[in-house]
A and B are shown apart, each in its own frame.
Chain A
Amino acid sequence: MLSIKEVYAGYGEIEIIHGISLEVNEGEIVSIVGPNGSGKSTLLKSIFSLVDIMGGEINYLNSNLSQVNTDQMIKKGLSFVPQTDNIFPTLTVEENLELGAYVSKKKLKDRFDLIYNLFPPLVEKRKKKAGTLSGGQRQMVAFGRALVIEPKLLLLDEPTAGLAPMYIDLILEKVAEINKTGVSILMVEQNAKKALAMSDRGYVLAAGEKKYEDSGRGLLENEEVAQLFLGG
């Protein structure tokens, strides 16, 4: 459903990604791993045109994304959870979720129940300002906001970054749960082992280029990958 072909992207004059190709098929969990500075986040951001694209093509459901507005992308089921600053801090939890439904004509209140079921701690916090929540709870709000619109493909930029250990496993469990409901996942993750363990396929990036591509299990068992990138 998503195909990234030979994309070059970066900021202004600085090219960070040098010709990467990548694919996500329906129903899959695909992980992008690699050391810091390898361009993982930039790759994800280029899908939403948040960085400058210098070459290549990104297609989603057979549309070239450079021709499509952000609200169209979202209506077609593409949703993004950034790594940092991914909630509206002075808005309540509920209002954050409402903004997830912004592009839709309907209020999508029934989706809220689904999200509260997925993330029960949010129920008692629904009227609280999102900025007052703990790191893990804020991540739940960020997820919730992206899920309201019933996305087909969810992009996650380091979903466990900065979280306490108990939240890391929790969030990754939730990701798996969300995938079981039919949402495809493309995630950039620092916790490479855990991510690859739950992924159908994975890509290993280094210095802005694709180094390895295989099934999740395949990459985990690949000795070279293990040595270089997964920390043994």
Chain B
Amino acid sequence: MALQLFLNGVILGSIIALGAIGLSLIYGILKFGHFAHGDLMTLGAYFAFLFKVQLGLPFWLAFVLAAALTAGTAVLLNLILYRHLKKRDSVIVMISSVGAALIIRNFVLLFWGPQNKFYEKAIQMPIVLGDGLLRIKENQIIILVLALSLVIAVHLFLSRTKLGKAMRAMADNIDLAQITGINTERVIIWTWAMSGVLTAAAGILLAFDTHLTPVMGWNLLLPLFAAVILGGIGSPYGAMFGGLVIGISQEMSTLIISAAYKPAVAFTIMILMLIIRPSGLMGKKV
């Protein structure tokens, strides 16, 4: 039982991790909490639905197109809203992201309706391992493989490429980044684009694992923030780790408390972190 929950937790954790990487970088570089991040996840999932189910394109193409469109949306949000509002106080830019979240969520509600949607009609039979000890669906294996591949890709990008290092540098110290000649405006745009791609992927994988609903991303916003804070704001690797911890904790918590209170687990971990070590496990000092 516990092993099954652990596995479920790893799957959920991978999804949260993917969404949290972009959120953490934006937080680190632009110094504000992007409250529309969950709804970008939803948008990505629904774009993929549009391309795969409604337009009949192959899954990989739907994935790529959805990621691109979500990246574009993220860049657009920054261009129209956040870039201008950043200059005022941080509360203004955060409330505008709450507004953006509501707009995106209701946009999805408007065009696709409130009922649950699925990428595939057939129900998959789980593969049973170890005499009933563990059940895993084919989809879930694919999710784990995809999530791992993306995480490795992100790692390679951040550690081997010039742009990736510039992003990490900006999350560390934006003033110094400017002094070294980094084109901060451009790197910020690329950060939004990358966040859009990763969060779309997270949304698609989530929908793949369960189903689509207009509030799917919003419901994960608290776990996303918890993962970011746990790992340390501005640390993409911290976000990956934080995501896994939150996912596993949420799923395994059902051994002790009712499943209805799963979101409370993320919240509790986050509050504990804020009390004990606000800078997170891998972040800079707050």
Contacts and interface: CB of A to CB of B under 8 A. Distances in A.
B173 A85 contact: yes
B174 to A, nearest CB: 10
B270 interface: no
A70 B178 contact: yes
Interface stretch (A88-96, A185-193, A219-227): A88-96
A50 B175 contact: yes
Contacts, number: 63
Contacts of B165: 91, 95, 98-99
A155 to B, nearest CB: 10
Interface in B266-283: 282
Interface centre among A48, A82, A88, by most B CB within 10 Å?
Answer: A88
Contact of A86 (B166, B176, B181, B284): B176
B168 A91 contact: yes
Interface residues of B, number: 21
B166 A48 contact: no
Nearest to A142: B176
B162 A88 contact: no
Given A99-B165, A131-B284, A85 B182 contact: no
Nearest to A107: B162
A89 B176 contact: no
B168 A88 contact: yes
B235 interface: yes
Interface string A48-75: 1010000000000000000000110111
Contact of A90 (B179, B182, B183, B284): B284
A145 interface: yes
Contacts of B175: 50, 82, 85
Nearest to B238: A90
A82 B179 CA distance: 9
Contacts of B235: 90
B255 to A, nearest CB: 35
Interface in B154-185: 162, 165-166, 168-169, 171-173, 175-183
A88 B171 CA distance: 9
A79 to B, nearest CB: 9
Contacts of A183: none
Given A82-B176, A89-B284, A103 B181 contact: yes
B183 A71 contact: yes
Nearest to B236: A90
Given A91-B165, A98-B165, A80 B179 contact: yes
A50 B176 CA distance: 11
A48 B178 CA distance: 10
A147 B7 CA distance: 50
Contacts of A153: none
Contacts of B234: 90
Contacts of B168: 88, 90-91, 95
A74 B181 CA distance: 7
Interface in B120-167: 162, 165-166
A74 B284 contact: no
A79 B114 CA distance: 57
A10 interface: no
A34 interface: no
A144 interface: no
B176 A102 contact: no
Contact of B182 (A80, A89, A102): A102
A87 B172 CA distance: 9
Contacts of B182: 71, 99, 102
A77 B137 CA distance: 59
A100 interface: yes
B180 to A, nearest CB: 5
A70 B177 CA distance: 11
B179 A48 contact: yes
B176 A70 contact: no
B95 to A, nearest CB: 25
Nearest to B284: A89
Contacts of A100: 180
Contacts of A88: 168-169, 172-173, 176-177
Contacts of A80: 179
Contacts of B179: 48, 50, 70, 80, 82
Interface in B9-65: none
Given A88-B172, A90-B171, A99-B177, 4 more contacts: A74-B180, A75-B181, A88-B177, A103-B181
12 contacts: A48-B179, A50-B179, A71-B183, A74-B181, A85-B173, A87-B176, A89-B172, A91-B169, A95-B165, A100-B180, A102-B181, A102-B182
Closest 4 CB pairs of A and B: A71-B181, A103-B181, A88-B172, A74-B181
